[in-house]
Amino acid sequence: MIISVSGGKGGTGKSTVSTSLAILLKEFTLVDLDVEAPNDHILLNVNLSEGISVKLFKPKFNHEYCTGCGKCAEVCNDNAIVLNREGKPILLDDLCAGCTACKLICPERGAIEDDFKVVGHIYENKTPYGFKLITGELLEGEERTYKVLLETKKRALKEGGNLIFDTAAGAGNSIFKALEGSDIVVAVTEPTPFGARDLEKILYTTSYLKLKTVIVINKSGVGDEEEILSLSKKYGCPIVGRIPYSEEIIKCYFSKTPIVNTDLPEAKVFYEIKERILEEVKCS
């Protein structure tokens, strides 16, 4: 089973929901796909182990064999290859997407050799709560989010078993790939105009991908839920839980104490959300 937890904007409580579900569903592996700013390990008080490098192909030009035909520059969609005065290629490293098109089209054997650069890391750790955490992290200054996300997800799927994907916020291209193949998507939102607007982006995306989706309203009680209720009805996505705006939850967050491991009344909400999610998966 794959449960994906997503949210249209940052700060909606997506990671709190993800980590809480992982603790309650101990047989699941939690996968942090928010590779630009992973924080599940922080909430779970886990020190990341030595990571596995995520490498991106980049061409290494051997001017000794290069005839200066310019085909590599012509085929590069990212305009990462320019020709010098002698007609020989120069790589603009930051623009290169690692697609290998230049090497495939090059007619001269040995003119383009394989080289790589590290764009991120994948970490695997055992948590204090008995389940595994897989974390993808983009290197600071790098822009190839998609590559790191893809490799992190591939590694998690290769291991198999039950998975919880904690995705990045938003509804861009990388979110499509993160959500793809999910048995159910948990869309975390908040009862504000911005929350409703961003929720619709997620619901539109999951509707397009034909993915079963449920809604969790975080910070319930701080705003009007009318727009959220309207979107729930419009897209046929039930609301499976309302997390109250609570100082106790905030205190747990900053002390790295999972709310579900306390006797606080607010913890009950997460147990109810877990049960509703499992019920919805069975009914789908």
User: In this structure, what DSSP letter does residue 95 have?
Assistant: G
| Nearest in space to 201 (alpha carbons), one of 229, 230, 175, 238 | 175
The pLDDT of residue 282 is 84
Residue 20 and residue 248: Cα distance in Å, rounded? 15
Same-fold call for 2-53+120-283 versus 63-110: no
Q: How far apart are CA 187 and CA 168, in angstroms?
A: 12
CA distance to 97, 133, 274, per residue, from 259 (Å): 41, 18, 14
Tell me which residue has tokens 């993808």: 136
- Return the pLDDT at 284: 65
**CATH top-level class of 63-110:** alpha beta
- Every domain of the chain and the residues it spans: 2-53+120-283, 63-110
Q: What is the tens place of the pLDDT at every residue in 53-79?
A: 999 999 999 999 999 999 999 999 999
Q: Looking up tokens 């009007």, which residue turns up?
A: 224
88 within 8 A of 66, measured Cβ to Cβ: yes
Residues forming a β-bridge with 242: 217
Query: Which stretches of the chain drop beneath a pLDDT of 50?
Result: none
The three-class DSSP label of residue 147 is helix
CATH superfamily of 2-53+120-283: P-loop containing nucleotide triphosphate hydrolases (3.40.50.300)
Torsion angle of the four alpha carbons 116, 158, 141, 46, in this order, in degrees rounded to the nearest 10? -130
At 91-124, the pLDDT tens digits run 999 899 999 999 999 999 999 999 999 999 999 9
pLDDT at 124 (0 to 100): 96
pTM reported for the whole predicted model: 0.91
